[in-house]
A and B are shown apart, each in its own frame.
Chain A
Amino acid sequence: MYTCPNCGSDMIYDIASKKLKCSHCETLIDIEWEGDHEEYELDDYGSLLLDTIINTENSVENIDNNNKELSAEEIGKNIRSDLLNTRSDSGNPPLRTAEQVQDEYEATVFSCPQCGGIIKTVGTAIVDFCPYCGSTLMLSGRLQREKKPDYIIPFGKTKEECAEIYKERIEKAWCVPARYKDMSKVNQINGIFLPYWVYSVHQKGLLTYKYVDKENSRGKVSCYFEKSYNYVLYDAASSFSDPVSEDILDYDRHDFLLFNPAYLSGYYADNADVDKEKYIIQIQEKSCQMTNQIIENKILEKYKDLTNVYLADSKHLQEQFNSRITGVKEAMLPVWLLTWREKGSVVHAAINGKTGKISTRIPVDLKQFALYTGLMIVPVILLVYILLSALYGLFSLYGFEDFIPFLFPVHSQIPMVLWTEIFTLLGTGVLYCKTKEFKSAAAIDGNYMGKNNFDHAAAKGRKEKKEDGCFYDSGYVSSELHLLFIFGIALIGMPVLLRLLVTFCTIFLNDSGYAENVGDLICLLIYLFQTALMVFDIHQYNRGYVRSRKQMFNIYLLLAGIASGWAVVYRGSFLETSSSPVYYYVSLLIFAAILKDVIDNILAYNRSCVRLISDYYKRSK
């Protein structure tokens, strides 16, 4: 498309000079400007409507009046009909006017036979490698006219700079498999423009907030507000996963330029195949929440005597905020995509082509992890030993010998409950981390813990996969887990307090019977808590949330530990548990469960780092 005026060779966009550069004779040519960059500088709230596809007949006031009774879905539908009103009534594509032809540019479009990904190029570039699935099948391209996007951000980072960023990321990471350190793969890095939808949102309205002040009296605050959000970015390419595109979102709105196909020269571009109305509900919800938060803060700032402010009607946010999408534009944003195949899966690393922000998932090398853990045990043993000895010495020195059993809880029931408690909480922590990890892992192509588990959960309707590929009930899980954590910490604190009580009882009241009863109570509470945790864990499994069938083994191990713990409790030998072999059996059992949980977690994480090639085959069908 762009040929050198001197030698006729292809010209590509040169990042350093920001000009078109001949690949043969290195001639530089300025990229023609098709007009100044149109800024969304909105100095007057009334003139907020942007130059968009949306029907301009619906002025701010009209929409305010007409749409008051409409639900968010209906507003979305209206906007959709406005946005997509490009077909004639007969259903045939409308005839192309001269203006429409001007809005197009010529591109060679390639389609990957394996993954169905679309790659566009301007110029005579040959695509022999799919940047999405790493397929090296020769792609056949066809020349066609494509609709021009509105904006573009040209590449700001060169391939070499991105290779350095990737290298740095690999060097920083811990327990990286050796194959990831092979920098020859970096040559397969491709510059690609990804399409994003750029939304503008406008809100205004009269809101009523309720408040509670320092004297605990209640009242109302009324508030008139007007707010707009511009440059709200959402990924418009289905071949690129949303969490990754969100990870690298680090663009500056001042970098947006009017689209010129010359910037695509020498790079690939993806197709905007995600409907622009798809994100509307999500944007409406989020922007209302954000505005609500800002207004609440502003009220609290203005009236210092208020302690709590909240919206009087917490439902129907969109209607209350009169939230409207006032514009949708398409922008092409630069990304360096590193792709390669290994062991039946595809590995990705994406780097923001303007700022160099990287998003990649590097698996964990289990051998290295075991080595580091093993190496760490020796100094930790020494530290723990030194710490305990020092405390023992201090206590003996100052005549607190009676407190030593509390510090060295070997000859009491405390070690067992404390140990199992630490292990269980560690396990719960792992589960919690895993839940968070898998929320994003699941989003990466729905490939986590094996596809079956995912489908199984979806089929039973236990959770809904939203448009960005995430499962949205994790908020529920994390809050419940937090509660359990607080409960757990309270229960750990309790035996410590009770143990102190026992020590005081023994010293001052000389009543060991009382101490034994307290011991009973401690064990009972702790094991009740652990049983609750286990039930919760199994409940999570039943929800198809995190655990695979294989991982149930951990739960069986922990259950065995708890059962044994209960057995010890019933034996009634709390004060001498450490002399009982059952105590060691329980400790080791639970420790093994935790160890296996950590390993499972790492393996599952490793699986989530890559995408199976078979998934691509499914997609192309």
Chain B
Amino acid sequence: MDCFMIILLSITISLGICFARLRRTRKTDRTSGMKSRYLSEKNMSVSIDKK
């Protein structure tokens, strides 16, 4: 009984590790997204007043 549980748990963990590893190596850098399109942001002038 214990053996069954341990094996099943181990298979799941192994699959999970392999899958996570795959995702990590396949992942392309999409975080840059919009920001990478904006090569320069300049001239921010802000004047703030609390009413």
Which of the residues A287, A299, A377, A605 comes within 8 Å of B48, measured between beta carbons?
A: A299
- By beta carbon, the residue of chain A nearest B50 is A221
The answer to whether residues A42 and B1 also contact, given A246-B37, A591-B12 and a CB cut-off of 8 A, is no
Would you give the 0/1 interface string for A236-276, flagging 1 where the beta carbon is closer than 8 Å to chain B?
00000001001101111100000000000000000000000
Cβ A174 vs Cβ B25 within 8 A: yes
Taking chain B's interface residues, is the majority helix, strand, or loop, or is none over half, making it mixed? helix
B49 nearest CB across to chain A (Å): 5
Which of the residues A224, A231, A290, A601 comes within 8 Å of B46, measured between beta carbons?
A: A224
A16 located at the interface, meaning its Cβ lies under 8 Å from any Cβ of chain B in the complex: no
Q: In the bound complex, what is the Cα–Cα distance between A302 and B12 (angstroms)?
A: 50
The answer to whether residues A410 and B2 also contact, given A174-B21, A369-B22, A433-B23 and a CB cut-off of 8 A, is yes
A273 nearest CB across to chain B (Å): 20
A578 located at the interface, meaning its Cβ lies under 8 Å from any Cβ of chain B in the complex: yes
A121 nearest CB across to chain B (Å): 28
Cβ A229 vs Cβ B2 within 8 A: no
Would you give the 0/1 interface string for A299-338, flagging 1 where the beta carbon is closer than 8 Å to chain B?
1001100000000000000000000000000000000000
Cβ B22 vs Cβ A45 within 8 A: no
Cβ B38 vs Cβ A587 within 8 A: no
By a CB distance below 8 angstroms, the chain B residues around A602 are 22
Would you give the 0/1 interface string for B28-40, flagging 1 where the beta carbon is closer than 8 Å to chain A?
1110111011111
Which of the residues B4, B8, B25, B28 comes within 8 Å of A359, measured between beta carbons?
A: B28
Cβ B37 vs Cβ A587 within 8 A: no
Cβ B5 vs Cβ A174 within 8 A: no
The answer to whether residues A373 and B43 also contact, given A221-B48, A247-B30, A605-B26 and a CB cut-off of 8 A, is no
The answer to whether residues A227 and B4 also contact, given A380-B10, A591-B12 and a CB cut-off of 8 A, is no
Cβ B50 vs Cβ A219 within 8 A: yes
- By beta carbon, the residue of chain A nearest B16 is A426
How many chain A residues touch the partner (CB < 8 A)?
82
A40 located at the interface, meaning its Cβ lies under 8 Å from any Cβ of chain B in the complex: yes
By a CB distance below 8 angstroms, the chain A residues around B45 are 45, 225-227
A601 nearest CB across to chain B (Å): 8
A381 located at the interface, meaning its Cβ lies under 8 Å from any Cβ of chain B in the complex: yes
Q: In the bound complex, what is the Cα–Cα distance between A55 and B22 (angstroms)?
A: 52
A372 located at the interface, meaning its Cβ lies under 8 Å from any Cβ of chain B in the complex: yes
By a CB distance below 8 angstroms, the chain A residues around B32 are 246, 249-250
Cβ B51 vs Cβ A381 within 8 A: no
By a CB distance below 8 angstroms, the chain B residues around A234 are 37
- By beta carbon, the residue of chain A nearest B30 is A440
A362 located at the interface, meaning its Cβ lies under 8 Å from any Cβ of chain B in the complex: yes
By a CB distance below 8 angstroms, the chain B residues around A496 are none
Cβ A246 vs Cβ B19 within 8 A: no
A172 located at the interface, meaning its Cβ lies under 8 Å from any Cβ of chain B in the complex: yes
Q: In the bound complex, what is the Cα–Cα distance between A48 and B43 (angstroms)?
A: 10
Cβ A222 vs Cβ B51 within 8 A: yes
- By beta carbon, the residue of chain B nearest A357 is B29
Which of the residues B5, B12, B26, B43 comes within 8 Å of A410, measured between beta carbons?
A: B5
Would you give the 0/1 interface string for A4-43, flagging 1 where the beta carbon is closer than 8 Å to chain B?
0000000000000000000000000000000000001010
The answer to whether residues A384 and B9 also contact, given A174-B22, A253-B40, A373-B18 and a CB cut-off of 8 A, is yes
Q: In the bound complex, what is the Cα–Cα distance between A172 and B33 (angstroms)?
A: 23
By a CB distance below 8 angstroms, the chain A residues around B51 are 219-222
Cβ B29 vs Cβ A247 within 8 A: yes
- By beta carbon, the residue of chain B nearest A436 is B30
Cβ B10 vs Cβ A377 within 8 A: yes
Which of the residues B6, B9, B46 comes within 8 Å of A298, measured between beta carbons?
A: B46
Q: In the bound complex, what is the Cα–Cα distance between A373 and B37 (angstroms)?
A: 39
Q: In the bound complex, what is the Cα–Cα distance between A372 and B22 (angstroms)?
A: 11
Cβ A247 vs Cβ B28 within 8 A: yes
Q: In the bound complex, what is the Cα–Cα distance between A190 and B47 (angstroms)?
A: 50
By a CB distance below 8 angstroms, the chain A residues around B37 are 232-234, 246, 249
- By beta carbon, the residue of chain B nearest A231 is B39
Which of these binds chain B: A63-71, A142-150, A415-423, A506-514?
A: A415-423
By a CB distance below 8 angstroms, the chain A residues around B50 are 211, 219-221, 303
Which of the residues A230, A357, A605 comes within 8 Å of B40, measured between beta carbons?
A: A230
A182 nearest CB across to chain B (Å): 19
Q: In the bound complex, what is the Cα–Cα distance between A369 and B36 (angstroms)?
A: 34
Q: Besides A174-B22, A226-B44, A376-B14, 14 other CB < 8 A contacts?
A: A223-B47, A224-B46, A226-B45, A228-B43, A231-B39, A234-B37, A247-B29, A361-B26, A384-B13, A388-B6, A423-B12, A440-B30, A591-B11, A601-B19
21 contacts between A and B (CB under 8 A): A45-B45, A223-B46, A223-B49, A225-B44, A226-B43, A246-B37, A247-B30, A290-B41, A299-B48, A361-B28, A373-B11, A377-B7, A377-B14, A381-B6, A381-B10, A388-B2, A584-B4, A587-B8, A588-B8, A598-B19, A602-B22
A-to-B contact residues, CB < 8 Å: 40, 42, 45, 48, 172-175, 211, 219-234, 243, 246-247, 249-253, 286-287, 290, 294-295, 298-299, 302-303, 357, 359, 361-362, 364, 369, 372-374, 376-377, 380-381, 383-385, 388, 408, 410-411, 415, 419, 422-423, 426, 430, 433, 440, 578-579, 584, 587-588, 591, 594-595, 598, 601-602, 605
What 9 pairs between A and B have smallest CB-CB spacing? A231-B39, A376-B14, A380-B10, A381-B10, A253-B39, A249-B36, A174-B25, A225-B46, A220-B51
